[in-house]
Amino acid sequence: MKQFQRTVEDFTCEQCGTFVTGNGYTNHCPNCLYSKHVDRFPGDRASTCGGLMKPIDVIVHAGEMVDVIQECQRCGHRHTNKLSDMDNREVLMQVMAEQAEKRAKGLV
Ligand SMILES: [Zn+2]
Ligand SMILES: [Zn+2]
């Protein structure tokens, strides 16, 4: 059913299987925060990599989680993705906890 013209991409998350309805602004899965490596620069869809981008860190600004940093599991490319209200806070807390643990162990 086509309602109106907009570049939105619906996709099924390859990491957790959630069906994601695109809103034109985000291409990551709100459930597990993974996305696919399709951009060389945000939004350009110029990358042919297609690897899964894993959430590896969260940027907190003024007590609010604002961005998630993702790293491609195939080529190691990193990028920052804006968080939306729909994103799973529990998963983000988990990502931050893991990152804090790695920092404490001197791994990053
Ligand atoms: Zn997912
Ligand atoms: Zn990649």
In a domain, 3, yes or no: no
What is the total count of domains within the chain? Answer: 1
Q: Domain for residue 2, yes or no?
A: no
Q: How far is the CA of 27 from the centre of ligand 2 (A)?
A: 15
57 occurs within a structural domain: yes
Residue 6 inside a domain? The answer is: no
pLDDT in tens, 37-54: 987 776 787 888 999 999
Nearest ligand atom owner, CA of 18: 1
Alpha helices in the chain (DSSP H): 89-104
Average pLDDT (48-73) is: 95
Helix ranges restricted to H, 49-88: none
Phi, psi angle pair for 19, to nearest 5°:
-85, 120
CA–centroid distance, 93 to ligand 2, in Å, is 24
Q: Return mean pLDDT, the chain.
A: 88
How close is the Cα of 80 to the center of ligand 2, in Å? 14
User: Does the residue 4 lie in any domain?
Assistant: no
In a domain, 1, yes or no: no
DSSP code for 41? S
Q: State the distance between the two ends of the chain, measured CA to CA, in whole angstroms.
A: 47
Q: What is the pTM of this model?
A: 0.82
Domain that holds residue 69: 11-104
Position 7 scores a pLDDT of 59
Query: 39 and 52 in contact (C-beta within 8 Å)?
Result: no
The answer to whether residue 5 is domain-embedded is: no
Q: Which pLDDT score is estimated for 25? A: 62
pLDDT at 3 over 60: no
CB 70 within 8 A of CB 53: yes
